[in-house]
Amino acid sequence: MRFTVATQITILRVVLIVPFVMMMLNVNDPQLDSSQQNLCRYVAIIIFVIMAVSDALDGYLARVKNQKTRLGAFLDPMADKLLMTCACLLLASERAHIPGFKLPAEIIVIIIGKDMFLFMGFIVVYLFSQQVRIIPAVIGKIATALQLSMVAAILIAPELSKVMDGYIWFLRAVWWSAAVTAIITTAIYIRRGSMYIEELEHDGAKQQ
């Protein structure tokens, strides 16, 4: 198995989810004073930015530097899904939400529901084809970018809301845009998966 630089960066992104979660769990810890809580949030922001940048970097290396591998093709979207699942659940929880900017449950259901549908679709396609088939669509990349932007916008909301009037409305526009894009992405991938399975069944019928 070939561990390219791009794959190593992806693995690092998965590992960084652990300290990100740990920092977020301290954001509203009553045993810490406000300065310590803010420090934990700032560290979480730094870790999140590193993960977001590494997401773009490993994609660049895989495409431009020809460092694509099967492991990387599997781990890259998996890392995104793990990060977004953890981030969404944390930002909607009592312990780790950002006061005044709690993520609505509806957004979580849509975003995590999308990932569950896509994972089940991946399993179904694999059972039919016995192949790992991951072909990212442009809309999927847009959905991921919006979700990353949504998390970042919530994490820095306490600062930006002080200097930007109506920031909460901007934030709501971002998270609903992320939700709508997630729905569209799910529909497109379901359609693609269905067409691929139909092609396999058609080819199988021909061979018989």
Least confident stretch, 29-38, 81-90, 116-125, 192-201: 192-201
Q: In the predicted model, what is the mean pLDDT of the chain?
A: 84
CA distances from 33 to 28, 38, 108, 160, 191 (A): 9, 9, 29, 21, 50
Over residues 86-138, the pLDDT tens digits come to 999 999 999 999 999 999 999 999 999 888 887 777 777 667 666 655 566 78
Report pLDDT for 87.
94
**What CATH code is carried by the domain that includes residue 29?**
1.20.120
Domain housing 92: 5-207
State pLDDT tens for residues 150-188.
999 999 999 999 998 889 999 999 999 999 999 998 888
Give the integer Cα–Cα distance in Å for 160 and 102: 15
Give the closest residue to 143 by CA, choosing from 77, 50, 190.
77
In 3D space, the residue among 73, 61, 58, 196 whose CA is nearest the CA of residue 134 turns out to be: 73
Give the total number of structural domains in the chain. Answer: 1
* Comparison of pLDDT for 148 and 190, the residue scoring more: 148
